[in-house]
Amino acid sequence: MRPLIFFAICATAILSTGCAGYHLGPANGAVAGEKSIEIVPFNNQTLQPRLGDAVTQALRERLQTDGTYHLATRGPGDVVVTGVITDYHREGVSFLRTDVATAENYRVDLTAHVTARDRVTGKVLLDKNVNGYTLVQVGTDLTDAERQSLPLLAEDLARNITELLTEGAW
């Protein structure tokens, strides 16, 4: 009976230490929902239409889901985030077996320069180029495939921006 008790104690000790590094709440030391964040619509400087609206909406949704900041919908926020979409790049990653010049799948990359400022002090909290990407499988129409992948592309970029905003050590 004693080996069984010893085994149970050892198993409990091993399992309980697995969660020792887990931290509940925001990773940057802030109190969840303490500050508000204002997202200014992103400016699209590429030739690809509708990117600014898609990224702005995806970022707002991602920040609401995260909960580190509450979204300032009425009035100014404590932190103001602005962004400029600077690059949209499509590159073939796999090609047809019958025609090596025709891409079957593309990787689409999106780059935005994101700035976050504290409204009161004017201190720059984040000033960085952030990238996002998605894979696009081309069917019969490349334009339609790219249009359908736009929410995924915007979501990946928004996830990367949110990670920098919420887990950054400011």
pLDDT digit string, tens, across residues 2-22: 666 766 676 666 666 655 554
Contact 85, 131 (CB under 8 A): no
Give me the pLDDT at residue 22, please: 46
Q: What are the residue ranges in the chain where pLDDT is below 50?
A: 22-25
Report domain extents, the chain: 32-167
Residue 55 token pair: 């990224």
How far apart CA 88 and CA 133 sit, in angstroms, is 10
Query: DSSP state, 45?
Result: -
Whole-model pTM?
Answer: 0.78
Give me the pLDDT at residue 34, please: 80
How far apart CA 43 and CA 46 sit, in angstroms, is 9
Give me the pLDDT at residue 8, please: 67
Fill in the amino acid letter for 25: G
Contact 158, 39 (CB under 8 A): no
**Architecture of the domain made up of 32-167:** 2-Layer Sandwich (3.30)
